[in-house]
Structure 1
């Protein structure tokens, strides 16, 4: 059976990398995936925000089927001022104002947030059929048992549980830090690498000194080396280029012609991400596994325009929105043994499709007794089926809903 590799970027705008043409950052390693395989101009995720998107990605099911429509949080607004700030930032009416302390979610309630154990993840299902499974990077599908990586099908975990963690020590002179003027910024930097932002190896906190994007790739490469002689599923959810903005100074210096230091750091984070992807692709080649490996690269949602480092142009909107800038994401695949190089698949596809496609590639059935919303894309990519894989794609987040069918898309504010 083939090896299966899923690489996920975090808040990466579709046109901030050179996969689709001229861009602020040249990303030769990510681009090489498409050159050796296929590029998807119409790739969608099921949510414009991190956690719900990842929940659908790993289950092949719309996240609404199991109560994961919204982002899990470590804390909730405790007064009117916090509520208004959160409401403005997240654009949602799902927040509850805790005027009475009895309404404030108890720690036990917050701990129950996450991917429910009743769901079957891609890792869990592949492991059942003999695959070794590893995750390296950002989890963000629950901060407590039973919704942690080792309980959701992964044999090995390196990374952190929450939405973000520091990439490096802010006092390291080799690192450039860029702060942002929004209410979440002090929380991100103040939290540092504590609690769910701590770097862990199999649930044990470790003191990590290296730049996190590089370290994630190094640990992923080690996993490949350790399992060269058995089929594996490697899931690499990088945290880049999500805030906090931190990048190696030598990479920031490459963008000295860019006047805005905020954009310099953002672009440098994407350049580091590209290098990290290149090291994983290179390790597959060194291990003699690249021809028999289906590798997928995509982002969990569009670029975060609130950082003022990206606009997602020419797409409208960005993270948190159902406009194209929020849900139309970069995606490329390679599988030299099966997919011809240099392909361009122009039909709308979804991150939901990865679960059934990976199962088909591995030659295993889909989990019985549950609705899988994704479609196996291999017959379409190999020319055995024609037409669009999906009659329609759907989105919902609170009072906002959207649908795309053919060339038409409708967004509704109810």
Structure 2
């Protein structure tokens, strides 16, 4: 798979160069999620969890930007600013001279100044997940959060600066997988203090990127602020829309998926 990707990227860059377009192009190479753990040999160590989870191992992704349009001072540098995958659209459209804000309101923001090191991230928070149809049961709404507008039994996750809040049931693997060694399997590191019934978790992911220390009890004001953000997102959310194409029959297509009309 790596060889195929490498060949495909070479085809693109060579074609751009032949057309004298490479110097006026930006190439973005990025992932959409962390590695899959169970049965897929993925590894996100030392981050917790993996694909299909809201832990950092599932949602923190890496990428790089290449092109002559990058200022010299930003080339070869590392940027850890807060960015959401939807930010790529307004970033690249604006860079190309277009206006991404015609029509519907966007969640994404232009992050070119952050990418080039000219400014900090253009956002203060990132919504990771909000599953209104995945709740642990409203009867759990007790304690200091019982009167909060957002139902803490909802499976949701959000980042705000250095803070990360998770609510509701935790789905998928919630432990760590150490790197694979020669002649050995992936080693699961379990969390002996993990309480699957807990509906609110708060982590300082700058100091605790492994998400081991829940700080919700001693930072309840932060939790309440982030719950308010989740409530606002909840009010704006709409059901996912998908269309099923009867002729999109992937069975019998051999080794590739073909277009259909």
TM-score w.r.t. structure 2 length?
0.50
In the other structure, the counterpart of 2:216 is: none
Structure with greater helix percent: 1
The answer to whether the 8 Å contact 1:354/1:376 transfers is: yes
Q: Once the two structures are superposed, what CA deviation does each residue of 1:142-162 show, in whole Å capped at 9, x if it has no partner?
A: xxxxxxxxxxxxxxxxxxxxx
Alignment of 1:326 onto 2:58 = yes
Pairwise CA distance, 1:405: 1.4
Partners in 1 of 2:86 and 2:24 — Cα distance?
23
Tell me how large the CA RMSD over aligned residues is: 2.0
In the other structure, the counterpart of 2:156 is: 401
The answer to whether the 8 Å contact 1:339/1:381 transfers is: no
Partners in 2 of 1:278 and 1:295 — Cα distance?
12
Alignment of 1:302 onto 2:34 = yes
2:105 aligned to 371, 379, 394, which one?
371
Q: Which runs of 4+ in 1 moved over 6 A?
A: none
Pairwise CA distance, 1:337: 2.6
Pairwise CA distance, 1:312: 1.8
List runs of 5+ in structure 1 lacking aligned partners: 1-268
List runs of 5+ in structure 2 lacking aligned partners: 135-154, 170-261
* SS of corresponding position for 2:38: helix
1:52-131 matches, within 5 Å, as: none
Pairwise CA distance, 1:383: 4.6
1:388 aligned to 108, 121, 124, which one?
121
Pairwise CA distance, 1:397: 4.3
* SS of corresponding position for 1:387: coil
Q: How many residues align?
A: 145
Pairwise CA distance, 1:380: 2.5
* SS of corresponding position for 1:354: helix
The answer to whether the 8 Å contact 2:79/2:115 transfers is: yes
Partners in 1 of 2:62 and 2:29 — Cα distance?
8
Q: Once the two structures are superposed, what CA deviation does each residue of 1:356-394 show, in whole Å capped at 9, x if it has no partner?
A: 11111111112434221111112233454x233211111
The 1:361/1:279 distance shift into structure 2, 3 A limit, reads same
The answer to whether the 8 Å contact 1:353/1:374 transfers is: yes
